[in-house]
Amino acid sequence: MPKIAIISPSIRNGRKSHRIALYFSNLLKGMDIIEHEILDLLEYNFPLFNERLKYIKSPSSEMIGFSDKIKSADGVIIITPEYNGGYPASLKNVIDLLTDEWRRKPVVFVTVSNGNFAGSQVITSIQFALWKLGAMTVPATLRLPNIESSFDETGSPADKTETDKRASTLVKELLWYIEAKKRMFGIG
Ligand SMILES: Cc1cc2nc3c(=O)[nH]c(=O)nc-3n(C[C@H](O)[C@H](O)[C@H](O)COP(=O)(O)O)c2cc1C
């Protein structure tokens, strides 16, 4: 059974994008062919990055735990809000913390905002950062605008049919990359 980690990066007071992580968690629960878990950066409460994990002499158990979760995941869904055209510092903090854990990792992005533009400007910078690290970044993306009115606090969408259709298409695309990687294992 493929194992998927959902990264929920916002640590902001009154954050809204965590609703989307909850939404994906519920969606994946319904697709019982997938094991999954939310990695909530608010709960991890990592200090500001000052070195890559592999060079830290006494890393915290949270850092090691986070690394293990990414290592053992077959694929990752990153939910990213847009902050001034970029992605949150909390997300950069954990991208830079890890190195080999990202390599050849299938990763798909969901960009969100509470405005009309669905965080669409964040995609190039987040795709590029993971590409630099050698992740298998999935070209398909999902962009979700107006998240406060489109999802309630439990992650339940106002338009379930349409949202499920779009989100399932994205998950299937990630699963394709996971399967493709599995079949290529041992080559190169
Ligand atoms: C510092 C900051 C910068 C923002 N910049 C943008 C932006 O560039 N584009 C956009 O569509 N929304 C922007 N927003 C609005 C966010 O889309 C909205 O606040 C969203 O809920 C953020 O996710 P969060 O609530 O999980 O932190 C910004 C919000 C913050 C806090």
Tell me what pLDDT residue 184 has: 87
Q: Which of 114, 122, 125, 153 to probe ligand 1 with, by most ligand atoms within 8 A of CB?
A: 114
- For residue 177, the model assigns a pLDDT of 96
Is the distance from the beta carbon of residue 82 to the nearest atom of ligand 1 less than 6 Å?
yes
Atom of ligand 1 at shortest distance to CA of 9?
26
Give the residue ranges of the chain where pLDDT is below 70: 186-188
Sign of CA dihedral 80, 18, 8, 36: negative
CA–CA distances in Å: residue 27 to residues 164, 165, 185 = 7, 10, 28
Alpha carbon of 81 to ligand 1 centroid (Å) = 6
Amino acid at 23: Y
Element (H, E) at 125: helix 123-132
| Angle, helices 160-184/18-30, rounded to nearest 10 degrees | 70
Nearest CA to ligand 1 atom 27: 15
* Whole-number CA gyration radius for the chain: 16
- At 185 the pLDDT is 75
| Res 186: pLDDT | 61
Checking DSSP bridges between strand 106-112 and strand 35-40, what pairing results, if any? unpaired
